[in-house]
Amino acid sequence: MHEKINGAALPSVMALAYLGDARHSLYVRRMLVARGLTRSKDLNLAALEYVTAQRQARMYERISDLLLEDEREVFRRAYNSQHLNRPKHASGADYRTATGFEAVVGMLFWLGDEERLGELLDIAHKEDFNGDTED
């Protein structure tokens, strides 16, 4: 469990979402390699399935009840951000939820709370990787 943090001590929620996108992508890539995929083409195609707004919105649903107060606050601020440019292939709700999910991941990464981050990502991906996560 990490300490409650002051929002001013963090980068903007959009910067956190940017970091969270990269950190989540690394998690997914590591798990795909651990599953035995070796060819770049196969790895890239498989990874794309896990980093869509719709998929990340479902992942958020799996962890939403487990979020701590400061994680919920970062999610809320990212979800409500006015700076979102929704892609054509995602609903507004899914894109906002995915952005919030990424911001929470980014916050935990920024704070260096890898234990909490790993716990939430393992739960978010539980059905995807059948519990074979170690990140």
The H or E element that residue 98 is part of is helix 92-111
Using CB atoms within 10 Å of the CB of residue 65, give its burial: 0 to 12 exposed, 13 to 18 middle, 19+ buried. exposed
The residues, ordered by sequence, that sit 6+ positions from 11 with a Cβ below 8 Å of its Cβ are: 19, 106, 110
State how far the alpha carbon of 40 is from the alpha carbons of 21, 50, 51, 79, 100, in Å: 20, 16, 16, 33, 29
94 is catalytic: no
* Residue of 21, 94, 113, 122 marked active site: 21
Q: Which residues contact 113 (CB under 8 A, 6 or more apart)?
A: 2
Phi and psi, residue 27, nearest 5°: -60, -50
Give the residue numbers marked as catalytic: 21
